[in-house]
Chain A
Amino acid sequence: MEIVMCFVIGFLFMAAVYLMLSKSLLRIIIGTGLLSHGAHLLILTMGGLDGSSPPVVSPGVTDYADPLPQALILTAIVISFGVTAFFLVLAYRSYQELGTDNMNLMRGTEDDD
């Protein structure tokens, strides 16, 4: 099962890298979304996919899933959610101000001209 997950995560990383190397800002942000999905799934997988019941204490159950990676993922999800929200608003603002979403046109410094 872990092997399958590793391939899925690898595919997500591949797609994320491809998207983040593209010109359009929105595709880059979609890429960061896929990257964080991959990272979160990787924590889950690396914590081990054994354990038959959810980590909630209940009578008669002895085989729980590892609760720690789930807590880490929950933390990482809200953080990446906050950053993505900020990033999206920033992309919107810069589209308004700079009038482009093409990363190639956002190059250069003030003293280049």
Chain B
Amino acid sequence: MMTNLLLFPIIIPFFFAMILMLFPKKIYAQRVGALLALGSTLIASVTLLYKVKTDGIQAITLGSWPAPFGISMVSDMLSILLVLSSTVIAIFVVWYSFSSIGKARESFFYYPGILFMLTGVNGAFTTGDIFNMFVFFEVLLMSSYLLIVLGGEKVQLRESIKYILVNVISSALFVITVAYLYSVVGTLNMADISVKIAQINQPGIITVIAVLFLLVFGLKGAIFPLFFWLPSSYAAPPIPVLALFGALLTKVGVYAIMRTYTLFFTLDQSFTHELLMILSILTIVAGCIGALAYFDVKKIIIYNIIIAVGVILFGASQMNEASLMGSVFYLIHDILIKGALFLLIGVIIAITGTSDLRKMGGLIRSYPMLGWTYLIAAFGLAGIPPLSGFVGKLLIVQGGFEAENLWGSIFILASSLVVLLSVMRIFIYAFWGEPVEITLLTKKHYRGLFTPALVLVGISVLYGVGSEWLVPYMNDAANVMINPSQYIQAVLGGS
């Protein structure tokens, strides 16, 4: 029973999603069911976090097959932290959806879609088998196809075609890459692959496969030359879906890059990790340009996703303890704060009825609370000290200096200023200035939209203030990435 604990965050949402598909029209039952599912997933994840903290890495191989032959599921500190934060985001998105998504969507498999997506996300974070990771990617992508097109507005149809096409191509590329890797090492278990690659001492073909993996996961995670699909696709769906995508989907690609680059491809770092570093810096630059170029609030935050992906991957490419720990800190921070920011701009869009900054103004008079909450979230995103973005970026920059990548670290620091400028522009345009005509929301509707965003910003503030308390967890997560032998030991064990 307890050895199967690490499967619970995958099975619970899956199970509830199946049940909820039976009665799509009963909206209240759908809402209660979705909350129940996410609540029990949260409990399971917290229990699992506690277990991983006390007993070390949890690993089982399904069906009692010995390790490289069955499918292994592995929960180390990195993956359980990500599972926990995805579940938290899903809870807030569902809560926010109650008052924003509308009955038509709710009665058409909206909540099962979210739960299936969480199944895929949690599975991709937990799996220890490369082909199983492909399958979980497809689970989350298939549900994201549903969520992005649900409602069938013209812009959704138009953009989801591109989104699906890009993901079909990257999935085919994933299959191709797995085929190459299988022909070289002859195994699919990630721990076993790591051992085999170390044995053959990473010949050129493995480096080629490393770059192919970077292409595959870079397409999912929107790194520099491969991010072109993301801005317009993410602008199409309604706000709660956008918050879910923005907070989770690219992070799965980022996690996969971090996992493969710290577990598999560690022997030719002067090429692979150098390439990753250059691409991540270019990603930051591209994101910064986009974040400043638009007057559309959605687009500004969407380009901030791309910047954050660059920052996290820069930390991952440095491969020292400080930078990896910083990456994990920043990854969790970014999941929380992007969720919060998307929910907040969702409230702003609901009030003003537009996403164009030039048509907004003076909101601080009618909605002061919203304004100050947004300001705190904006400062948190930029990394102003007591708030959540600070520690992660500090550690990443420190790691960059330790690895003597002076320019990369300077780019990170400069990008923070651009991030701050881009989100402050929203504050200045929307909250200051001449008040414009707005439709006052009803108290109940406003509270339903604003409370989840407020609580999520509160959590991100706690995350920043309590970072001292989180250090042992982050330390464990970084440790596994630095010493993959722990991971291999946990999976292949004494066998």
Residues of A bordering B, CB below 8 Å: 20, 25, 28, 32, 35-36, 38-40, 42-43, 45-48, 68-69, 72, 75-76, 79-80, 82-83, 86-87, 90-91, 93-94, 97-98, 103, 106, 109-111
Contact = CB atoms under 8 A, between A and B. Distances in A.
11 contacts: A32-B169, A39-B176, A40-B175, A43-B178, A80-B172, A86-B164, A90-B149, A97-B152, A97-B154, A106-B162, A109-B232
Contacts of B145: 83, 86, 90
B258 to A, nearest CB: 24
A75 B135 contact: yes
Q: Which 9 A-B pairs have the closest CB atoms?
A: A46-B183, A94-B157, A46-B179, A39-B175, A43-B179, A39-B172, A35-B172, A106-B158, A42-B179
Given A48-B183, A76-B175, A86-B145, A32 B158 contact: no
A98 B135 contact: no
A48 B184 CA distance: 11
Given A72-B178, A82-B142, A106 B183 contact: no
Given A20-B165, A35-B172, A83-B168, A75 B131 contact: yes
B221 to A, nearest CB: 20
A111 B154 contact: no
B119 to A, nearest CB: 15
B157 A97 contact: yes
B175 A43 contact: yes
Contacts of A68: 182, 188
A106 B161 contact: yes
B155 interface: yes
Contacts of B141: 83
Contacts of B296: 111
Contacts of A79: 135, 138, 171
B157 A32 contact: no
Given A43-B182, A72-B131, A111-B356, 16 more contacts: A35-B168, A35-B169, A36-B168, A39-B172, A43-B175, A46-B180, A75-B131, A76-B134, A80-B171, A80-B172, A83-B142, A87-B161, A97-B157, A98-B157, A103-B161, A106-B158
Query: Which has the most chain A C-beta neighbours within 10 Å: B145, B160, B161, B188?
Result: B161
Interface of B: 131, 134-135, 138, 141-142, 145, 149, 152, 154-155, 157-158, 160-162, 164-165, 168-169, 171-172, 175-176, 178-180, 182-183, 188, 232, 235, 294-296, 356
A46 B160 contact: no
A77 to B, nearest CB: 10
Nearest to A16: B172
B158 A42 contact: no
Given A79-B138, A98-B158, A111 B165 contact: no
Contacts of B179: 39, 42-43, 45-47, 69
Contacts of B162: 106
A94 B135 contact: no
Query: Chain B contact residues: over half helix, strand or loop, or mixed?
Result: helix
Contacts of A75: 131, 135
Contacts of A43: 175, 178-179, 182
Contacts of A38: 172, 176
Contact of B157 (A42, A80, A83, A93): A93
Contacts of B134: 76
A20 B167 CA distance: 13
B223 to A, nearest CB: 21
B109 to A, nearest CB: 13
B135 A36 contact: no
Contact of B161 (A40, A76, A94): A94
Contacts of B182: 43, 46-47, 68-69, 72
A43 B178 CA distance: 8
B145 to A, nearest CB: 6
Contacts of A47: 179, 182-183
A109 B356 CA distance: 13
B144 to A, nearest CB: 11
Contacts of B142: 82-83, 86
A52 to B, nearest CB: 20
A1 to B, nearest CB: 14
Contact of B295 (A45, A98, A106, A111): A111
B139 to A, nearest CB: 9
